[in-house]
Amino acid sequence: MKNSELKYTVYHKFPHHTEYSKRGEILLTTSRATAKYIGNEPELSIEDLDHDYKSMKSKFYLVKIVDNENPNHVTKSFTYLCLLKSSNLEDEIIIHLDKNNRIFQFDYYTSSDQCNNTIVPQSRIFKTTVQTIKAIDGVVPKLNKAMPSIREDGTVEKPPEEKSFMQKYWQADYLIES
């Protein structure tokens, strides 16, 4: 693995599972801020996707991404199980990167936005695409005035009175005669 590549492990959990299981890996190329999903999950069982429609509508499919260099850094997302089934296991992970090209959040979407109880997935393997969005620095306000000083008693110290242009720049020394 090159210095400019970071590895993240993707885990998932179906409602009937008690723990997360490994689903795949994301290889992030930091120099280009691009990511690639490497799926190594086994084919899903019938039990994972074959639930009655009414219960699927209220159950969630959970996804989490763990930073391999820092396992305490975990980001999570979810979708309805019925959307996953309706999408024929076509999903998308949109990774949001901070200014250091590290994942600080991700969005998880299925290709279907409607639950459809008549669709039976043709595949039992995920078809995942990954996109990255890099954070950029926002607009910084231009502050012209300094914050007012606060005295020890909590009152605001009155700033010195601002001089006019003539007071600041006019040298009237020659007008004063002794």
Give 30-81 pLDDT, tens digit per residue: 888 889 999 877 677 766 766 555 555 678 999 999 999 999 999 999 998 8
Q: Is 0.85 surpassed by the pTM of this model?
A: no
| pLDDT band (50, 70, 90) for residue 2 | very low
Cα separation, 177 vs 167, in Å, equals: 19
Alpha helices in the chain (DSSP H): 46-49, 53-56, 81-86, 165-169
**What is the per-residue pLDDT across 70-120, written as a single tens digit (0 to 9) for each?**
999 999 999 988 888 888 889 999 999 988 888 999 999 999 988 877 777
Average pLDDT over residues 155-169: 79
Cβ neighbours, 10 Å, residue 68: 13
**54 φ, ψ to 5°?**
-65, -40
Cα separation, 137 vs 128, in Å, equals: 29
How confident is the model at residue 16, as a pLDDT?
83
**What is the per-residue pLDDT across 167-177, written as a single tens digit (0 to 9) for each?**
777 765 555 55
DSSP string, 24-67: EEEEEETTTTEEEEEE-PPPPPHHHH---HHHHTT-EEEEEEEE
**What is the per-residue pLDDT across 111-154, written as a single tens digit (0 to 9) for each?**
998 887 777 777 788 899 999 998 888 888 877 667 777 888 87
Give the dihedral of Cα atoms 112, 59, 126, 102; nearest 10 deg.
90
DSSP state at residue 145: S
Cα separation, 71 vs 148, in Å, equals: 45
